[in-house]
C-alpha cells in the first residue's frame, strides 16, 4: 500500500470525500475543529478496491503509527453515508500478549471480556464462522478465562489453526474481509436500492481504540442535541458505563440515559463534566460541520472522546426545524437551509388528521402504520382502486395484507387498511413511503373478497363502495367520513416556505375543482389555479340527472334545454371560485370526459334512470351501448365532444363569462383562462375559439360590460406537442397535461399498467414509473420540442405543466430549466412544489455561478 | 376586353392551360395538328373573373371576328377538366333576322327548331327562367312558327321585355351568366369535392357554330376508338343525323350508332367517308395529344368538324390497356404510361369474384352496386363492423340503407348489403369509392336490428355472426362462404406491373399471416413478407383451447407445458411460410394481443370453457375479469407480455428457428426476421433480445447447425420513435406500425373514431382520415425523426412501414422520399403499391432532373 492511501485524519481537512468516504471526511473535519478524535487513518477507496482484488497492505507499518500494542477499530466509510457498508470491528490487534497487559490495567474480567468478544466477532465477521458455534458462551460468561479459552478452541477447531496472534495479520484480514464484503452481490443489491451507483466506492477508517474502561468514569454512548421528531433543542441519547462502541443502543443492555428523567440515573448525574463536554463539542461541530450531529462517544477515565459522528436523526418535521434553526443562527445560508429538506418528505407534515374534537364511529382498531387520515369508498382490489382513481373518486384499499401487485393500487388509493401485518409489513412500509395514511393488523375484521364485504368483530358488515375513514396516526378505522383538521404547520415550516417563495422563480398553481380545494390552495400561497376540471361539477346529485337528460336528448334543442338548466349551476361554481381566488388567475378546462361516464352501469341503476327520464329501459340500455367505447381514453371526449356537440362548450363559456362579470363587480377584476382539452389538430382550436369568441361577444352585448379572457389548449397528445407551432397561433397559453401525454407517448394506459409496472421498474425496463416522475427522455423531449415550437410562433406564450408531475420535484426542476411559466399540482402538494421550485432555483443559480467561473 | 384575352385557337399551340383552361388548350392543340376545328376564341381565366365582377367585354368586336351573321357556341374551359363548369350554350347570336336567313338555307322547320330551342336555352340558363314555363312547347312542336312565337312570348311575359335581338348583347349575357355561375356556392362546393382549389380558374371558349344541318350528310355525334371497359381498339359512339352538339347522347333521341350492329343503320353505312375521316383524325390526335381521345363532331354537308375533344372514357381496366398501348406504340414513354393509371383504381381489378363454376345458396338479389365478391360474418351496425375489424374478423355490413355515420363501419367491412337504395344511393357511391363489393336494394330482405336478425323473402332467418358472401358484380347474396376466383389479370396489367417493377426503387412486401396470403403475395411479385402476425395462428379451433389452458395455467411450469403443445403447430406454420416464400425475407411479429382476446365473453361460452378446462365457472369468470382492461389498446400486450411472460416469446423464437432449419434443408436458405411489437423503451428490446439469443444458441447447440436471423422492433408508440437512436443499437431493422402510431400520436382509437371522423373530415378539422392517408404533419414527422435518429446510431439500419398506410400511394411516396427500404401492405394492395412506388420514383427522378437544371 502506497503511503498516499493512508491519511492522518486528526491533523487537517484535506481528506477528500470522494477519496476516503463520508466517515473519514467527517472525522477529519472534527479533528481539524480541535475536537478529541482518537488517532485514525483512512484507507482510500482506491486502496480498498486493491485490497478486494487481493493486494493486501502492509499493516505492520500502519499499526506502528498507533504505537506499540495499540488496538484499533475498523469502520466503513462509503462515499455516501446512505449506502451502508460492512459492520464496525472493534479491538482489532488484541492478542494473548496484549490481553495479559490489559488484565493488569483493567482487571481480568474486563480485559478477558474484551478479548473473548473480539475472538467471537473476528471468527464470525472475518473468518466467517457460524455465529451459532459460540452459542454456548453467554455474554455473562465472557469475562472468564474458561470462556475465552473455549472461544479460542472453537476457532481452532473450525479453522484448523490457532487464533491469529499477529496484530498486523489480524488487521490485514479485517481489511480484506470488509473490502470483499462490499463487493458481494447482496451488498450491491442493498446499496443499489439506496441509490448507489454500480461503482460505489468504500473507504475504511482505522482508529485507535478508546476502551471506555478504567477506574475513573468510563463508558460509551450516543447523543444528539436536537429532538428527532420536532427538531427542537434537547438532549437525546443513551450511555452505558463500561460499554464500548454502540453498546448503549443494544436492546439487551441496561443503558442509562444522558439526562435524567423518570427512568432514573443518568450521565448528567454521574459525570456532569462529560455532558458539559459533549454540549460544547456539539456546538463546535454544529458550526464547523454546518449541521446538528449525533455523536458516538467514549469516556475513558473521565476524558471524553468522539469516535464517530453523523447527522442527527430527524423526522420530516425535525428536518425543517433543524434547517431553519441553522440558518437563523447563521450556521448555514437560507439557500442551504432550503436544500436541506427533501421536498417529498413534507407530504407527511401536510396530511389532514382526524379532528380530535370530533367523535367518530370506530369499527376497527389496528397499528398506526403510516400517519394522517383519509376518507374514501371501500375497494377490495388494487384494480378497483385504480378504476376508482380513474373516476377520480377517493377510495380506501382494504386487503388481507398487501403484496407487490398491490402497489399501483396503493398509489391511487387515499388510504390503506389491512387485516394482517405489522409495522414492517409490506403495506406499512409502502404506505409510509407513499405518505399514505395506513392502518395494518386490524385483526378484528374479516374480509370476504368474493362477496366484496368486510365484517367487523361485532358482526357489522361493510360493502364495496361504503364510505370509511382511516386514521393512520391513531390506528383507527371509522364508518363514514369523519371531520378532519389540517395539521398546524409550525413556525419553522412557515419560515421555510417564506424562504422558498423568496427564491423560487417559477410559478406554482394548484389543480382545484372545488371551493374547498381552492381555499386550501390559497392558504398555501399559490399563484392561481392551473387546472379546474369542470366535469366533477356534473357528478353532483342534482346535476347528474340534468346531465343525463342532456345525453338522452333527441336533438340539439333538447340538449340546449338541459344545458340551460345547468348554466346557473356552473355560473355559481365559477363565481365562487373567482371570489376565493380574489383576482388570481383561474384556468378552467372545458368539459373533457366521454359521456358514458355519466351513465349508470348496473341494470338496477338503468331501470331507475329510465323511470326518472320517463322512457323505456331498453332505450337507456341502447344509448349506453351506443356510447360504449373500446378505448375510452382514446375516444369521443375532450375537444372532440366540443366540436361534435358545440352547445356544451357554449354553455360553459357563457357560465364562465357571466361569472367573470359577477365576480369582478364585487371584487378584484377577473381574467378567466379557458383551456381546451385533448387537442390534436390546430383546426380544433380554431373552431372552438370562434364559437367561444362569439359567446363572449354575445355576453358583452347583453351586459354592455367589456371583459377580457385568455384561451389556451391542453397539450395531451403527442401530435399537439409536435404541432405546437400551429396551436400557438391561436392560444394565449399551452398547458401540458403530462398524465395523458405520458399515456399516449408510451402507448400505455395508466389504469392498466398496474399489472406489470412494478415488474417493469424492478427489472429496470423503465427506470421510474413514468406516471410518478416525468419521463425526461421521451415525454420530456416532447415538452421541450413543443415549448420551442410554440415560442417560435409566439415568443411570450405562457407554458405550464398541469397533472401530477406538477408536484414532483424532479419534474418541477425540469420545467423550471425549460423556462416554463408555472406548474400546477394538487393543493396538498403545493408546499412540496414550492420547496422543489426553490431548490431548483438555488441549484440553478449555483450552477450558473459555476458556469461563469468555467467560462 | 383587352386583345390578349382573346386567342385564335386554330392557328398555334400557344394557348396556355393555366390562362385559358383545358378545353381551350386541347382545341388549340387539335388545330395546330391541322385537324378541322371550327374557328374559336378563348376567353381567359383572368377575363372570366373580370366578367364575373361586372366588367363585360366588347362582344361586338368578338363577334365581328366570326364574320357577319355568325352564330357561336360558348363552352366552359376550366383549368382542370375534372372541375366541371357551366353547361355549353349553342347557337348564340341567333335573332329573327338570322333565323329568316337560315329558313332559306336550311328550310323553315330546321331553322325554326334551332331558334326556338335557343330561345328556351337562353331563357333558362341565362335569363334564369323556370324551365317548366316552356313545358307546353314540346320538342316535336319546336319546328313550327307558332311554337317559336309562343316561346318568345313566354320570355317577354316573364322578363317584361322582348327577347334580345342584338347578337352581341346575347353573347355578353351568356358570358356573364357562365362566369357568375362558376362563382356560385353550389358550383364551388361541387368542384371542391372534385379536388379543386378555392381559386380554381375557369376559361371560356367561343366557337363558330357548325350546324350539322344541310342538304348533304349532316348531323352530330360522339366517338372514341377504344373500348371504355377493356381499352381495346374498337369504335364506340353515337351519331344523330341533323343533330347538334351532344344531342346524340340524349336518352330521348333515336340516335344511330357509328358502326352497325344488330341495332341497325349506322354512320359507317350512311357516310363511310366520315368514319374514315374520324379514324384518321383520331390517329393524328392520339399521337399529337398523347392520349386516346373522345371527339364531339359535327358533319355539315359531308364535311367533318371536330367541335371538342376529351380523353376517351375509360374504366380502370381500360386505363391500364390504353396507357400500355400508347407506350408500346411509342406515343408516350413507359414512365408516362405508369403515371397515367391511378393506383387506387387498380383495386377494382383485383377483387376476387364468385367462381362462375361454383353453385351458391342465393338468399337475396339486389343491384350490383360495386363489383367484386367478399365473404364475412353479418354485422348490423357500423360499430359492430369496427369491433369485428378490431378482432380482424371479416364482416359484411347489412343495413336498411347507409348514412354518413356508417362510413367508418364500411371502411372496416369486407362488403355491404342494403335493403334499400339504388345505384346512386349512399351505400353504392361510397362502396364504389372504397372498392368494396356491394349489393343495394335487396328488397326481399327484412332487418330487425333489435333482434339482430335478417329475414329473407322466403322466411329464412340469418343472425348476427352468420357467414354470408356478397357478390357485388352480379348483385347476389349467398349463405355461407362461396368459392371465389381471382380475376384473370390480362396482358396489359402484367406489362404495366413489369414496368412498375423496373422503375420502382423502394421494396414492396406484403402483410401475410397465412399460407394463402403468402401465395397471393408471391403471385404479385413481392419482395418478401413485411409483417406476419402470429396471433391469428392461435385463434384456430385446436389451438385456441391450448392457448386458453396457458392463460389459466397456475404457474410458469404449467404455462410452459401448454406452450410446448403449441410449439409444433407454430413450427409448421412458419415452415410452410418459409417454403412458400422460397428464401425471401419473412418478418415475423411476436405475439401481440392482450390475453383477454382469447377468452370467451358470453356466459354460455364461459360455462363451456369451464367444462373443457375442468374448473369451476367462477374461476373462468374471475380470470376473465382479472384480465379485463380499461383501454386494451394501451394495456398489457406486445412486448409487455413478452417481458412479463417470457415463455411465450421463447416458444415462438424456438418455433421460428426450428422452422428455419427445416425449411433451409429442403429449399433456399432462410434468414428469418423477428419483430418485437409495442416497444416503448430500449431496455425492452435488450431483454427480449438476450432471451431470443439464448434460444438461438440452444437450438444451434441441439442441432449442431448454425443459422442467422435478424431482430428488430416495431415502432408503434411515439416514444419508440423518439428513442429510435437507442433502439437502433440492438435492432437490425425498425418497422413503423403506423396504425397504432397514428392512434397514439392523435390519442385517438381507430375503433372509437367512427362516431365523429366523418364530421371531422367534413368540417376540415382533419384534412383526411389519418387512418387512411398518413398524417404527414404529425405521424410523418415522427417517422422522419425516428429514421434520422436510427441512422445516426446505425447508418444502414433497415427501415420500413407496415400497416395499412403501406398500401396508400401518398404514404408510399412519403416513405420513398424518406429513403425507407420497403413498405408492407395487404397482399391485394401489392399491385397498387408497386404502381404507386413506380410513380413516386418516376416523379422523383423528374424532380431530381429539374433540381439539377436549377442548380
| Three-class SS of A99-113 | HHHHHHHHCHHHHHH
**Average pLDDT estimate for B142-150:** 87
B506 and B837 in contact (C-beta within 8 Å)? yes
Chain A hits for B745, Cβ within 8 Å: 680, 717-719, 722, 744
CA distance A506 to A500: 11
Write down the pLDDT at residue B852: 44
Q: Count of CB atoms within 10 A of residue A709's CB? A: 18
Q: What is the pLDDT of residue B853?
A: 42
Q: Is the pLDDT of residue B2 over 70?
A: no
pLDDT band at A711 (very low <50, low <70, confident <90, very high): very high
Can you give the pLDDT at residue B142?
A: 74
pLDDT at B741: 97
Chain A CB contacts of B779 below 8 Å: 719
Q: Is the dihedral of CA B275, B280, B283, B287 positive or negative?
A: negative
For cell 381514453, what's the residue?
A633
Closest partner CB to B717 (pick from A680, A681, A746): A746
CB-CB neighbors (< 8 A) of A756 in chain B? 636, 640, 643-644
Q: In angstroms, what CA-CA distances link B15 with B4, B6, B7, B28, B31? A: 11, 10, 7, 6, 11
Q: Locate cell 332559306: which residue?
A: B104
Spatial contact of A771 and A698, defined as CB atoms under 8 Å apart: no
Contact across the interface for B745 and A759, Cβ inside 8 Å: no
Catalytic position from the list B125, B426, B596, B834: B426
pLDDT of A196: 86
Rg (CA), chain A: 33
CB A380 within 8 A of CB A446: no
Grid cell locating B148: 317559336
Residue positions counted in chain B: 855
Of A433, A404, A384, A363, nearest to A756 by C-alpha is: A404
Quote the DSSP letter at residue A439.
Answer: E
Tell me which residues of chain B, numbers 744 to 773, contact chain A at a CB-CB cutoff of 8 Å: 744-749, 751-753, 755-756, 759-760, 763-766
Each residue's pLDDT tens digit, B772-830: 889 999 999 999 999 999 999 999 999 999 988 888 899 999 999 999 999 999 888 89
Give contacts of B748 with chain A, Cβ < 8 Å: 634, 680, 717
Query: Which residue in A has a C-alpha nearest to residue B618's C-alpha?
Result: A450
Residues of B in contact with A632 (CB under 8 A): 630-631, 752
How far does chain A reach from its first CA to its final CA, in angstroms? 39
Name the band, by pLDDT with cuts 50, 70 and 90, for residue B854. very low
C-alpha distances in Å from residue A820, one per residue of A507, A676, A802 = 9, 19, 11
Interchain proximity B636–A752, CB inside 8 Å: yes
Question: pLDDT class for A368, splitting at 50, 70, 90?
Answer: confident
Q: What is the mean pLDDT of residues A276-292?
A: 95
CB A204 within 8 A of CB A180: no
Return the SS3 of B785: helix
Contact (CB, 8 A) for A77 and A203: yes
Lowest mean pLDDT: which of A89-103, B266-280, B303-317, B380-394? Answer: B380-394
Residue A242 contacts by C-beta under 8 Å, 6 or more apart in sequence? A110, A212, A213, A218, A219
Q: How far is B770 from chain A (nearest CA, A)?
A: 11
Closest CA–CA distance from residue A626 to any residue of chain B (Å): 8
- Pick the residue from chain B with its C-alpha nearest to A683: B765
Q: What is the pTM of this model?
A: 0.81
With CA atoms as reference, the chain B residue closest to A629 would be: B752
Q: What string of H, E and C letters represents the secondary structure of A329-345?
A: CCCCCHHHHHHHCCHHH
Site from A617, A624, A631, A780 to mutate, B interface, most B CB atoms within 10 angstroms = A631
Is the confidence at residue A3, as pLDDT, over 50?
Answer: no
Phi-psi region of A459 (alpha: psi -120 to 50; beta: other; left: phi over 0): left
Contacts of A223 (CB under 8 A, 6+ apart): A235, A236, A237, A239, A258, A278, A282, A294, A295, A297
Q: Report pLDDT digits (tens) over A224-238.
A: 999 887 899 999 888
Examine the pLDDT at A851 and tell me if it is beyond 50. Answer: no
A 10 A CB-CB count for B234 gives 12
Question: Do residue A748 and residue B634 have CB atoms under 8 angstroms apart?
Answer: yes
- A631/B626 CB distance under 8 A: no
The answer to whether B426 is a known catalytic residue is yes
pLDDT digits (tens, 9 = 90+) for A149-164: 999 999 999 999 999 9
Cell of B222: 360522339
Nearest C-alpha of chain B: how many angstroms from A745?
5
**Would you state the pLDDT for residue B816?**
95
For the stretch A740-776, pLDDT in tens is 999 999 999 987 887 788 778 878 899 888 988 899 9
Asked if B718's CB is within 8 angstroms of A718's CB, the reply is yes
Average pLDDT over residues A413-441: 83
Q: Chain B: nearest CA to A726, how far in angstroms?
A: 11
φ, ψ for residue B200, nearest 5 deg = -55, 135
What the block records as the C-alpha cell of B337 is: 404510361
Produce one character per residue of A765-779: b if its CB has 16 or more CB atoms within 10 Å, e if not. bbeebbbbbbbbebb
Q: How far is B612 from chain A (nearest CA, A)?
A: 24
What is the rounded average pLDDT for all residues in chain A?
88
- As a whole number of Å, the CA-based R_g of chain B is 33
Identify the band that residue A853 occupies on the pLDDT scale cut at 50, 70 and 90.
Answer: very low
Mapped onto helix, strand or coil, the DSSP state of residue A72 is strand
Put simply, whether B782 touches A (Cβ < 8 Å) is yes
DSSP structural state of residue A261: B
Which of A380, A451, A621, A718 to mutate to test binding with chain B, by most B CBs within 10 Å of its CB? A718
A629 interface with B at CB cutoff 8 Å: yes
Helix (H, G, I), strand (E, B) or coil at A472: coil
CB contact (8 A) between residue A718 and residue B745: yes
According to the model, what pLDDT value does residue B86 have? 92
> Which pLDDT does position B443 carry in this prediction?
78
Determine, for residues A752 and B630 on separate chains, whether the beta-carbon distance falls below 8 Å: yes
Contacts of B634 in chain A (CB under 8 A): 631, 633-634, 743, 747-749, 752
Residue whose C-alpha cell reads 406515343 in the numeric block: B331
The 3 state secondary structure assigned to B163-218 is CCCCHHHHHHHHHHHHHHHHHCHHHHHHHHHCCCCCCCCEEEEEEECCCCCCCCCC
Q: Would you please indicate which residues of A are annotated as catalytic (active-site) residues?
A: 426, 802
pLDDT at position B525 over 60: yes
- Look at residue A12 and tell me whether its pLDDT is greater than 60: no
Kind and range of the H or E element at A304?
A: strand A303-311
The answer, for B644 touching chain A at a CB cutoff of 8 Å, is yes
Q: pLDDT of A593-646, one tens digit each?
A: 999 988 887 788 889 889 988 889 888 888 888 888 889 999 999 999 999 999
The residues near A622 (Cβ < 8 Å, ≥ 6 apart) are none
Contact between residue B289 and residue B309 where contact means Cβ atoms under 8 Å apart: yes
Res A257 pLDDT > 80: no
- Give the gap in angstroms from C-alpha B732 to the nearest C-alpha of chain A: 20
Strand order in A72-78's β-sheet?
Answer: A6-8, A40-43, A202-208, A72-78, A89-92
Return the ∠ at Cα B233 (arms to B231 and B234), rounded to 5°: 105
Using a CB–CB cutoff of 8 Å, tell me whether A425 touches chain B.
no
- Name the average pLDDT for chain B: 88
Q: What percent of chain B has pLDDT over 90?
A: 56
d(CA B1, CA B14): 19
pLDDT-based confidence at A849, cuts 50/70/90? low
Interface of A with B in 669-728 (CB under 8 A): 678, 680-681, 683-684, 687, 716-719, 722-723
For residues B206-222, average pLDDT:
86
Confirm if A165 and A96 have CB atoms less than 8 A apart. Answer: yes
DSSP state of B127: S
Position of cell 447508418? B795
Mean pLDDT is highest, among B79-93, B207-221, B645-659, for: B645-659
Report the pLDDT value the prediction gives residue A10, as an integer from 0 to 100.
43
d(CA B853, CA B855): 5
Are the Cβ atoms of A687 and B387 closer than 8 angstroms?
A: no
B464 has pLDDT over 70: yes
Q: Report the gap between the CA of A411 and the closest CA in chain B (Å).
A: 18
What is the average pLDDT across B257-265? 68
Q: Measured between alpha carbons, how far is A622 from B452 in angstroms, rounded to an integer?
A: 13
Q: Are B468 and B378 in contact (CB under 8 A)?
A: yes
Contact: A680, B643; criterion CB under 8 Å: no
Chain centroid to CA B622: how far? 47
Going from the C-alpha of B216 to that of each of B115, B277, B301, B626, the distances in angstroms are: 21, 16, 4, 90
Predicted confidence (pLDDT) at residue B5 exceeds the cutoff of 50: no
pLDDT band at B336 (very low <50, low <70, confident <90, very high): very high
**Does the distance separating the beta carbons of A782 and B718 come in below 8 Å?**
yes
* Element at B509 (helix H, strand E): strand B507-511
Mutate to test the interface with B, among A382, A388, A688, A719 (most CBs of B within 10 A): A719
Residue B218's pLDDT is what? Answer: 87
CA atoms within 13 Å, Cβ hemisphere of A765: 21
Residues A173-186: pLDDT tens digits?
999 999 999 998 88
Contacts of B581 (CB under 8 A, 6+ apart): B518, B522, B528, B529
Of A354-368, A426-440, B28-42, B736-750, least confident by mean pLDDT is A426-440
**Looking at residue A432, what is its pLDDT?**
73
CA A250 to each of CA A136, A221, A244: distance values in angstroms, whole numbers, following the listed order: 20, 11, 11
Q: Which of A763, A575, A802 lies closest to A667 in space, CA to CA?
A: A575
Among A747, A752, A785, which would you mutate to test the B interface (most chain B Cβ atoms within 10 Å of its Cβ)? A747
Residue among B718, B751, B754 with most chain A CBs within 10 A, to mutate = B718
Tell me how far apart the terminal alpha carbons of chain B are, to the nearest angstrom.
Answer: 41
Q: Which of B395, B802, B815, B825 is catalytic?
A: B802
Between A and B, how many residue pairs show a Cβ–Cβ distance under 8 A?
A: 170
Best mean pLDDT range from A422-431, A838-847, B439-448, B502-511: B502-511
Q: What is the pLDDT of residue A254?
A: 61
pLDDT given for residue B4 in this prediction = 37
B408 neighbourhood in chain A, CB within 8 Å: none
Phi-psi region of B844 (alpha: psi -120 to 50; beta: other; left: phi over 0): alpha
Ramachandran region, residue A668 (left: φ > 0; alpha: ψ -120 to 50; beta: rest): beta
Amino acid at each position: 500500500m502506497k503511503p498516499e492511501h493512508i491519511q492522518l485524519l486528526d491533523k487537517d481537512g484535506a481528506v477528500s470525500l470522494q477519496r476516503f468516504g463520508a466517515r473519514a471526511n467527517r472525522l477529519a473535519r472534527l479533528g481539524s475543529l480541535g475536537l478529541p478524535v482518537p488517532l485514525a487513518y483512512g484507507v482510500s477507496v482506491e486502496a480498498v478496491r486493491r485490497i478486494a482484488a487481493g493486494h493486501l497492505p502492509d499493516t505492520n507499518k500502519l499499526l506502528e503509527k498507533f504505537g506499540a500494542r495499540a488496538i484499533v477499530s475498523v469502520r466503513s466509510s462509503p462515499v455516501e453515508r446512505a449506502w451502508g457498508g460492512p459492520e464496525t470491528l472493534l479491538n482489532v490487534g488484541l492478542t494473548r500478549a496484549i490481553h495479559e497487559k490489559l488484565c493488569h490495567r483493567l482487571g481480568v474480567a474486563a480485559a478477558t471480556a474484551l478479548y473473548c468478544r473480539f475472538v467471537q466477532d473476528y471468527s464470525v465477521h472475518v473468518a466467517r464462522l457460524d455465529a451459532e458455534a459460540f452459542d454456548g458462551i453467554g455474554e455473562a460468561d465472557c469475562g472468564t478465562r474458561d470462556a475465552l479459552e473455549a472461544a479460542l478452541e472453537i476457532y481452532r477447531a473450525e479453522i484448523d489453526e490457532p487464533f491469529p496472534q499477529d496484530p498486523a495479520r489480524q488487521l490485514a484480514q479485517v481489511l480484506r474481509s470488509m473490502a470483499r464484503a462490499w463487493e458481494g452481490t447482496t451488498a450491491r443489491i442493498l446499496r443499489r436500492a439506496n441509490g448507489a451507483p454500480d461503482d460505489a466506492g468504500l473507504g475504511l477508517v482505522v482508529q485507535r481504540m478508546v476502551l471506555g474502561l478504567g477506574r475513573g468514569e468510563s463508558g460509551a454512548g450516543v447523543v444528539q442535541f436536537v429532538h428527532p421528531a420536532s427538531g427542537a433543542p434537547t438532549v437525546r441519547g443513551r450511555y452505558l458505563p463500561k460499554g464500548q462502541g454502540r453498546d448503549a443502543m443494544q436492546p439487551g443492555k441496561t443503558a442509562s440515559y444522558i439526562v435524567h428523567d423518570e427512568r432514573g440515573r443518568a450521565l448528567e448525574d454521574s459525570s456532569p463534566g462529560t455532558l458539559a463536554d459533549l454540549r460544547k463539542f456539539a456546538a463546535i461541530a454544529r458550526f464547523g460541520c454546518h449541521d446538528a450531529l449525533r455523536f458516538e462517544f467514549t469516556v475513558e477515565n473521565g476524558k471524553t472522546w468522539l469516535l464517530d459522528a453523523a447527522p442527527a436523526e430527524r423526522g420530516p418535521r425535525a428536518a425543517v426545524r433543524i434547517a431553519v434553526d441553522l440558518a437563523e443562527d447563521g450556521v448555514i445560508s437560507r439557500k442551504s437551509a432550503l436544500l436541506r429538506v427533501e421536498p417529498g418528505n413534507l407530504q407527511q407534515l401536510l396530511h389532514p388528521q382526524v379532528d380530535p374534537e370530533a367523535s367518530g364511529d370506530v369499527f376497527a382498531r389496528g397499528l398506526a402504520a403510516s400517519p394522517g387520515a383519509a376518507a374514501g369508498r371501500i375497494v377490495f382490489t388494487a384494480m378497483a382502486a385504480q378504476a376508482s382513481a380513474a373516476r377520480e373518486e377517493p377510495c380506501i384499499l382494504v386487503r388481507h395484507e398487501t403484496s407487490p401487485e398491490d402497489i399501483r393500487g396503493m398509489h391511487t388509493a387515499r388510504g390503506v387498511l389491512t387485516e394482517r401485518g405489522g409495522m414492517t409489513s409490506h403495506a406499512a412500509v409502502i404506505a409510509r413511503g407513499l405518505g399514505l395514511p395506513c392502518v395494518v393488523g386490524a385483526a378484528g375484521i374479516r374480509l370476504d373478497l368474493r362477496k366484496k364485504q368486510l365484517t367487523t368483530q361485532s358482526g357489522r358488515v361493510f360493502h364495496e363502495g361504503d364510505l370509511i375513514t382511516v386514521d393512520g396516526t391513531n390506528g383507527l378505522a371509522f364508518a363514514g367520513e369523519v371531520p378532519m383538521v389540517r395539521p398546524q404547520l409550525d413556525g419553522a415550516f412557515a419560515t421555510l416556505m417564506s424562504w422558498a417563495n423568496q427564491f423560487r422563480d417559477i410559478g406554482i398553481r394548484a389543480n382545484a375543482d372545488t371551493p374547498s380545494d381552492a381555499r386550501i390552495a390559497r392558504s398555501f400561497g399559490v399563484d392561481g389555479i392551473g387546472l379546474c376540471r369542470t366535469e366533477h361539477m356534473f357528478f353532483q346529485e342534482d346535476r347528474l340527472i340534468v346531465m343525463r337528460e342532456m345525453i338522452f336528448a333527441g336533438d340539439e334543442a333538447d340538449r340546449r334545454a338541459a344545458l340551460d338548466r345547468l348554466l346557473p349551476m356552473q355560473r355559481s361554481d365559477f363565481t365562487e371560485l373567482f371570489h376565493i381566488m380574489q383576482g388570481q388567475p383561474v384556468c378552467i378546462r372545458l368539459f373533457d370526459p366521454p359521456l358514458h361516464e355519466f351513465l349508470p352501469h348496473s341494470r338496477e341503476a338503468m331501470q331507475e334512470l329510465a323511470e326518472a327520464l320517463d322512457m323505456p329501459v331498453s332505450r337507456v340500455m341502447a344509448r349506453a351501448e351506443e356510447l360504449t367505447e373500446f378505448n375510452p381514453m382514446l375516444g369521443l371526449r375532450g375537444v372532440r365532444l366540443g366540436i361534435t356537440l358545440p352547445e356544451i362548450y357554449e354553455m360553459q363559456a357563457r357560465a364562465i363569462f357571466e361569472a367573470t362579470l359577477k365576480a369582478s363587480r364585487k371584487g378584484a377584476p377577473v381574467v378567466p383562462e379557458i383551456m381546451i382539452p385533448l387537442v390534436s389538430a390546430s383546426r380544433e382550436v380554431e373552431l372552438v375559439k370562434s364559437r367561444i369568441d362569439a359567446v363572449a361577444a354575445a355576453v358583452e352585448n347583453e351586459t354592455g360590460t367589456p371583459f377580457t379572457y385568455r384561451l389556451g389548449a391542453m397539450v395531451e397528445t403527442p401530435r399537439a406537442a409536435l404541432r405546437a407551432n400551429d396551436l400557438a397561433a391561436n392560444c394565449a397559453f399551452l398547458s401540458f397535461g403530462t398524465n395523458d401525454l405520458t399515456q399516449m407517448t408510451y402507448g400505455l394506459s395508466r389504469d392498466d399498467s398496474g399489472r406489470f409496472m412494478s415488474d417493469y421498474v424492478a427489472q429496470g425496463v423503465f427506470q421510474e414509473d413514468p406516471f410518478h416522475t416525468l419521463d425526461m427522455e421521451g415525454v420530456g423531449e416532447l415538452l421541450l420540442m413543443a415549448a420551442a415550437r410554440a415560442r417560435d410562433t409566439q415568443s411570450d406564450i405562457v407554458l405550464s405543466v398541469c397533472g401530477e408531475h406538477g408536484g414532483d420535484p424532479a419534474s418541477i426542476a425540469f420545467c423550471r430549466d425549460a423556462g416554463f411559466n408555472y406548474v400546477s399540482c394538487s393543493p396538498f402538494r403545493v408546499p412540496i412544489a414550492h420547496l422543489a421550485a426553490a431548490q431548483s432555483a438555488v441549484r440553478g443559480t449555483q450552477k450558473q455561478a459555476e458556469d461563469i467561473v468555467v467560462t
